[in-house]
Amino acid sequence: MPPIEADEFYADHMDELDSAHETAAAVAEETDHATFLDASEVWGEEYSREHDGSIDRSDDGIHTCPQGAARFTSWFLDELSDHHQGFSPAPAERWANAGWSDAEVFTGC
């Protein structure tokens, strides 16, 4: 998960959230059927609302905006294609501007 700015709900759970990546990596290491993908390449180690001058995260400090969702999805699809022979993701031009980014669910962007 990306780093967040904890609100009053998440404030009491930050220790668990901060260690989630270590737990996921340990579980993946114990099996031949899982791969840990470190999304800090996308989100960074610290919360940031903007990335390269574009708004990636909602002003609530938790949710993603269309730009961030598309950037993460593009990274994730590339990672999947690197790990799964025969998987070829659609180019971002085909899905990133297909109307979903105008959805009302993206608030505070």
pLDDT in tens, 20-42: 999 999 999 999 889 999 999 99
Q: What does pTM read for this prediction?
A: 0.85
**C-alpha dihedral sign at 96, 100, 102, 106:** negative
- Cβ–Cβ < 8 Å for 38, 29: no
Return the pLDDT at 97: 84
For 83, list phi and psi in degrees, rounded to 5.
-100, -15
Contacts of 16 (CB under 8 A, 6+ apart): none
